[in-house]
Amino acid sequence: MAETKEAPAGTPTKKETAKNGGKLATPKKNKSNSQRSQTPVAPPKKRITNISDRLSKAIDGAKEQKNRSPDLVHLGKDFDDMRKQLRSLILKTRKYNDAYIQAEKARKEMISEIGKLSEGTPLFQDVGKHQNNESIVHINEAASKEAENNAKEFRAKIVEYAAEWEEIVTGLVDQEMNNARKLGKDKSHYDGKVEKLRQEINKLENSGRPTPDTKAERLKRNEDKLKEAFIAYEEAASKTCFLIEEVVKSGWKDLYPFVKSTMNWEINRVQGESELFADLPDAVDRMVIAYKANKKK
């Protein structure tokens, strides 16, 4: 989310925009027949984070690390803990956005009832008259439109960031973990075969019998396969360990944009509300005058 910036001269304020329905007037474009007949194609989902790029660059630039397979267990637990925290964050951001929407809805309904009660009274002009841009009801309607836009922005830029963060790291880590597990099974498979063949050959040698060439060749072939499987497994394990460390220990790099966007959203929300509600004191003052002028009638 962009930080608060000074608007160029001539740019309508939030209050002016909200009072005009929350939108700026834009000219309509005439579509050609060919454009009307084309079937719209949904564009691919656009990423709102750079987490994938950051992790890819980190992995590509990583130094070679050997024999890290024992670290997979505790690093896997570290990632599971972080994933739980991310999923909790997603739920909390959605809960906050829903609460914001519900609070705004309740406030709007309350002000609407106040406006209805003011109808036919000396307070109506300054309280409930929709056509009066400076009435309490009108000011709150403008604020409600702004709140709707705020909620949409929060969902699109903050809730979706958290969801995408969890989705990306879960997909990458699970993929590498599954690959490492598969290669680990291959290594264990050849480990077992080599161990069995060695026991058979030792048994033959201890009994004074020669080892058949076919059995010796099988042992050599499986030892070569075991060596290849061991190297492949350790490379995958090292890559997975580095990825998890980058996701967990350097996760603050992904947290930073989230916090910045969230706090900027709050700052912009408060500033927008302050601007839109700036006319409320005057509306209340006019209502007080109307009350005093008519209370003895």
**30 SS3 class:** coil
pLDDT in tens, 7-54: 444 555 555 554 454 444 444 455 554 455 465 665 667 888 999 999
pTM: 0.77
- Let me know the angle formed at the C-alpha of 159 by 157 and 165, rounded to the nearest 5 degrees: 90
Measured between its terminal Cα atoms, the distance across the chain in Å is 55
The answer to whether 54 and 253 have CB atoms below 8 angstroms apart is: yes
At 40 the pLDDT is 62
Is residue 185 in some structural domain? yes
* Alpha helices, H only, the chain: 14-19, 33-37, 51-60, 72-118, 124-127, 136-154, 160-206, 213-248, 252-276, 280-294
Domain interval for residue 266: 68-295
Residue 6: inside a domain: no
Does a structural domain hold residue 38?
no
Tell me, yes or no, whether 262 lies in a domain.
Answer: yes
Q: Is residue 19 part of a domain?
A: no
**Domain total in the chain:** 1
Assigned domain for 39 exists:
no
Q: Which two structure tokens, joined as six digits, stand for 238? A: 């090292």
- Pick from 233, 224, 236, 234: nearest CA to 193: 224
DSSP state, 56? H
Residue identified by tokens 């609407």 is 112
Q: Which of 150, 152, 156, 126 is nearest to 139 (CA)?
A: 126
CA-to-CA distance for 189 and 16, rounded, in angstroms? 72
* 48 inside domain: no
CATH of the domain at 270: 1.20.1270.60
pLDDT tens-digit series, residues 69-127: 999 999 999 999 999 999 999 999 999 999 999 999 999 999 999 999 999 999 999 99
Task: Answer whether residue 59 is part of any domain.
Answer: no
Give the chain's mean pLDDT: 88
